[in-house]
A = this chain, B = another copy of it.
Amino acid sequence: MTYTIKEVAERTDFSIYTLRYYDKAGLLPFVSRDASGYRAFTDGDLQILHTIACLKDTGMKIAAIRQYVTYIMQGPSSIPQRKQLLEEHRQTVLHQQAVVAQSLKEIDFKLAMYSSPHAAELVGLELQTAKSQKRASQLADPFEG
């Protein structure tokens, strides 16, 4: 049983364009062609594609994904390299998660301020502080206009 590129696009979050772009970029060397030159995706191919989606969704670059896929094509002998690549990526993702979580906290703090019954006063105070800093340094006030 195989799937056409259209069927794969429907079953995944990749567009037909993206799938062809990925193939051109060397991300899909495991996808075979039928007698007419059409891409024929097997279930196993979809599994690798799913892994590719996980890597992409966590921010891995195309070049790194290509490297990973290349390792897959080399068979079990490349397990150490695959492991290292994923471990390094894992650290990157953990770091990014921490950055995002911290930034979200600060956004939530802003939201809390905007939701406060004294929102207008708090924001007004911030504004006056900013304006007086400009004045103290003899700078034009950009908050006019």
Chain B residues with CB under 8 Å of A32's CB are: 134, 137, 139-142
Sorting the interface of chain A by its residue count into under 10, 10 to 19, 20 to 34 or 35 or more gives 35 or more
Contact, CB under 8 Å: B120 / A76? yes
Copies of this polypeptide in the complex: 2
Chain B residues with CB under 8 Å of A96's CB are: 100
Chain B nearest CB, measured from A115 CB (Å)? 7
Interface residues of A (CB under 8 A from B): 1-2, 29-34, 40, 42-45, 50-51, 53-55, 57-59, 73, 75-76, 79, 82-83, 86-87, 89-90, 93-94, 96-97, 99-101, 103-104, 106-108, 110-111, 114-115, 119-120, 123-124, 126-127, 129-130, 133-134, 137, 139-143
